[in-house]
Amino acid sequence: MSTVPDDLRYSKEHEWVRADGDVATIGITHFAQEQLGDVVFVELPEKGSTVRQFSSLGVVESVKAASDIYAPLSGEVIERNVKVIEKPELVNTEPYGNGWMIKVRLADKGELNQLLSPSDYRSHIGETAGAGGD
């Protein structure tokens, strides 16, 4: 698994987005979970609520500290990952898989252009391009 998969878009606050039509799946990156350490609690918005781009959508707590999760995109929450609420360690073990947070119906697909490409995100976290995998 690459630490920065090529098929996703990223925010500077270390969230990732997988866009599929007008639905986007949102999670936090490998880099973010590594900085946080052992995640023990995840707080996510209710289904049906709306989130606004670059505003707080929820919280992840590790043993060490609490951190806000910021919405990389605006829209309506159509699903939240119940598994990650029950098993917060999924954020550490599968940040791009079963550790996803919410699915959002996009309000404005144009907002995707304000996110970082994989290579821009790699430079943002100081990872050299192409250095994949662990």
Residues that bind other proteins (CB under 8 A): 37-38, 40-41, 43, 59, 61, 63-66
Distance CA 96, CA 8 (A): 9
Give the nearer residue to other proteins in terms of CB position, either 66 or 131. 66
Which SS3 state, helix, strand or coil, does residue 111 take?
helix
In whole angstroms, how close is the CB of 92 to other proteins at the nearest point?
8
Cβ neighbours of residue 24 closer than 8 Å, sequence gap 6 or more:
17, 18, 72, 73, 75, 103, 104, 106
Least separation in angstroms between residue 100's CB and other proteins is 20
Q: Least CB distance from residue 129 to other proteins, whole Å?
A: 24
